[in-house]
Amino acid sequence: MRRHRLLATHALAAGALVLAGCTAGPDDDAAPPPTTSESTAEETTAPDPTAEPEPQDPVPPEPRSLSVTVSGDVLIHSGVWESAEIFGTRTGRRAYDFRPMFESIKPVYDKADLSLCHLEVPLAEPDGPFESYPVFSGPPQVVDGLKWAGIDACTTASNHAVDQGFEGLERTLDVLDAEGIEHAGTARTRREARTPTVLEVEGVEVALLSYTYGTNGLPVDEDKPWSVNLLDTRRILAEAARARRAGAEIVMVSVHDGLEYQVEPSESQLQVFDILTRSEDIDLVYGHHAHVVQPVDKINGTWVAYGLGNFIAQQLTSQPETYRGVTVRFTFTESADGSFRVRYPKLVATLITPYEPSTPMRVLDIRAALADPDTDPALVPSLREARRQIRDSSRQEVG
């Protein structure tokens, strides 16, 4: 069982023992006090310091709580890595530096107990060659940037998972391992594919499952059908149950499905999300692939996010919705029966700034950018329009 540990500390409460004495008033029927000079005061006995204290009622523990952030597609087009190259020249830290690109959103990830990304593309060797749409091969340096920004784990089942064959899939997981980022959705071995990704966070066992509708017609190796988790609701339900048996107290499922650029969920999404949210083994379902923000809703008593849009990408500027995304923080709270439920979701609207040869791309927390006096005034209308559109598409209030 693969585990990521962010262990909580718990304060222990101690009760104090309070001793009280009682006094009695005069009683008409009582015998009169002695009248001789030899009368003495009533003798009192001091507490025995060696006596065991009386047992106290145990203080009930506080319900455990856990916050999880999920965000949209990490889709590395040429403008994204060229932006990282510009930042690398400026900072001198490395040839491709993604940290400045994610600086605005880092505080959001840092506030969460567990932060998740969706790495949609396979990764190349450090020096490339890198490839953009339609067959991706991204710079591995992006993982350093994601780790620095606060990402703890990434889902990897997507329609681009085998763009570089099994070799690219294997290399991608090796890079994530090297950076200490957990992953789910693709696998290097049959055993790894059958082992649920269970993360221990703040003393809570959290399972992360990831599936994709397909691989753009590119074949998954015939002798390695387990290397990519393909979307099958019966399989997902079985693996969620397996994760429970492995000790998971919270089970989250990432679904890569839907129609690109459509803000409404597809029939496939509606059907899959409905089936999954009926399971008592699944606590949260969220999605990717549409590249635009879709509704955040509660289905069958379970919170879902149909589509989180893009976290970082460079798609057509004629489709401004693809430059917008939403990061959702779900707060899970333990119930009296030991189960966990989302108390409330908090939505953070994000905007990707367009790439120009002199202006590298950034992912902006829209609320923070609007509150920052140093934000370029020319960017303010785009920020406001993006926040409005994300609010309408998600059907929730956004930060």
Banded pLDDT at 343 (limits 50, 70, 90)? confident
- Single-letter code of the amino acid located at 321: E
340-368 burial string, b = 16+ CB within 10 Å, else e? bebeebbbbbbbbbebeeeebbbbbbbbb
From 35-44, 54-63, 67-76, 284-293, the region with the lowest mean pLDDT: 35-44
- The percentage of the chain sitting over the pLDDT mark of 70, rounded to a whole number, equals 85
What does the alpha-carbon distance between residue 128 and residue 137 come to, in Å, rounded to a whole number? 8
Which secondary structure element, helix H or strand E, spans residue 118, and what is its range? strand 114-119
Q: Read out DSSP for 190-259?
A: HHHHHS-EEEEETTEEEEEEEEES--TTPPPPTT-GGGB-B--HHHHHHHHHHHHHTT-SEEEEEEE-S-
Distance, C-alpha 268 to centroid of its chain? 24
Confirm if 377 and 387 have CB atoms less than 8 A apart: no
pTM metric for this prediction: 0.86
| Residue 262: pLDDT over 50 | yes
Phi, psi of 226 (to 5 degrees): -80, -5
- The residues, any chain, with a CB within 8 Å of residue 273's CB and separated by 6 or more, are 255, 265, 285, 287, 299, 304, 306
Exposure of 48 by Cβ count < 10 A (0-12 exposed, 13-18 middle, 19+ buried)? exposed
Q: Phi then psi for 311, rounded to 5 degrees? A: -85, -50
Going by pLDDT thresholds of 50, 70 and 90, the confidence category of residue 48 is: low
| Whether residue 21 has pLDDT greater than 70 | no
The better pLDDT of the pair 37, 224 is held by 224
Number of Cβ within a 10 Å radius of residue 2 = 16
CB 165 within 8 A of CB 204: no
Q: What percent of the chain has pLDDT over 90?
A: 82
d(CA 13, CA 61): 9
- As a whole number of angstroms, the distance between CA 60 and CA 12 comes to 10
Does the pLDDT of residue 245 top 80, yes or no? yes
Q: What is the mean predicted confidence (pLDDT) over 68-95? A: 97
- Span 62-394 CATH architecture: 4-Layer Sandwich (3.60)
Q: Is 289 left (phi over 0), alpha (psi -120 to 50) or beta?
A: left
CB 221 within 8 A of CB 227: yes
d(CA 157, CA 172): 12
Averaged pLDDT, 186-215: 97
